[in-house]
Amino acid sequence: MATTPHTTLIDSDGFLLHAEDETAMRAEMTHYEQPQAACIEALKIVQRRHGWVPDEAIGAIARVLGIAPASVESVATFYSLIFRQPVGRHIVLVCDSSACFLSGFDELKQALVNQLGIDYGQTTEDDRFTLLPVCCLGACDGAPALMIDNDTYGPVTADDLPALLESYS
């Protein structure tokens, strides 16, 4: 089914793909010889709008890219920063690389768990924060490090957390 910028693609699963998102996916496809190469960006486009990628979006993305839904699903489940369930407004990624591990990762993680009242993979009751591990933030000179949304911080101590987290409403 061809769409125009003023229409919306509804997948057989009932997922509503916004016209701007479909347009962005099609534009992304022009950068690659194979449409599969645009899959990660297509998933990120849906995630930016919805905060995560619902199962029902997989078929809609596959139809736009012209690839099998299983191909989209395999990419979506492989990449840890493609969220397949609802997450909080802010994602807190705690680096557990060797440098961070040796520089106070355990204390930082425990302080986050205590302050937020959640563990890895969980979201606070107010849907404000989701806490996740990440294998490396590339901030070894600032270990232990963490990232909130797109902002990297380090070195971070337990004493830094209250003010840091408060700055994200």
Residues belonging to the binding site for [2Fe-2S] cluster are: 95, 100, 136, 140
Residues 64, 58 contacting (CB under 8 angstroms): no
Q: Tell me how far apart the alpha carbons of residues 123 and 40 are, in angstroms, rounded to a whole number.
A: 24
Task: Return binding residues.
Answer: 95, 100, 136, 140
Angle at 131 between CA 144 and CA 43, to 5 degrees: 110
Please, which residues have CB within 8 angstroms of residue 45's CB and are 6 or more apart in sequence?
21, 24, 25, 28
Nearest 10 degrees: Cα torsion 20, 21, 23, 24? 110
